[in-house]
Amino acid sequence: QQQVKQSPQSLIVQKGGIPIINCAYENTAFDYFPWYQQFPGKGPALLIAIRPDVSEKKEGRFTISFNKSAKQFSLHIMDSQPGDSATYFCAARMNYGGSQGNLIFGKGTKLSVKP
């Protein structure tokens, strides 16, 4: 119940394409859903985040779509660029008990954007 399932494991798109990464969860106690971007040799960095009372959030070329009834959320990258090549992690934040504020991460998606 505390898992966050992420797909696909890897993704290759051409420059300008719109890669979509999907995540699903079971626990309705999650109250915050961030996406992290990680470049090789670096730590994950917060990219964009959404709360479950919002169905969509855009920041620049990055959009999160959130479907509360289906317990699914996804990341879309518009007009993708080679510089977007990285590993992307979705996460969900627990908001109960002593673990308040802890994140459960998906297993990651390695995105490669070809020039």
Partner 1 sequence: DAGITQSPRYKITETGRQVTLMCHQTWSHSYMFWYRQDLGHGLRLIYYSAAADITDKGEVPDGYVVSRSKTENFPLTLESATRSQTSVYFCASKDVSNQPQHFGDGTRLSIL
Q: Which amino acid is at 48?
A: I
**Of 3-22, which residues contact partner 1 (CB under 8 A)?**
6
Per-position b or e across 58-76, b if 16+ CB within 10 A of its CB: eeeebbbbbeeeebebbbb
By rule CB under 8 A, what string of x and - marks binding of each residue 80-109 to partner 1? ---------x--------xxxxxx-xxxx-
Out of 13, 20, 29, 49, point to the residue binding partner 1 (CB under 8 A). Answer: 49
Q: Which candidate, 90, 52, 53, 58, places its Cα nearest to that of 74?
A: 90
Binding flag, residue 29, partner 1 (CB under 8 A): no
Count how many Cα atoms sit within 13 Å of the Cα of residue 49 in the half-sphere of its side chain.
13
Nearest residue (CB) to partner 1, 81 versus 100: 100
Nearest residue (CB) to partner 1, 15 versus 58: 58
Question: Three-state SS for 76?
Answer: strand
The residues that touch partner 1, with contacts defined as CB under 8 A, are 6, 32, 34, 36, 41-46, 49, 89, 98-103, 105-108
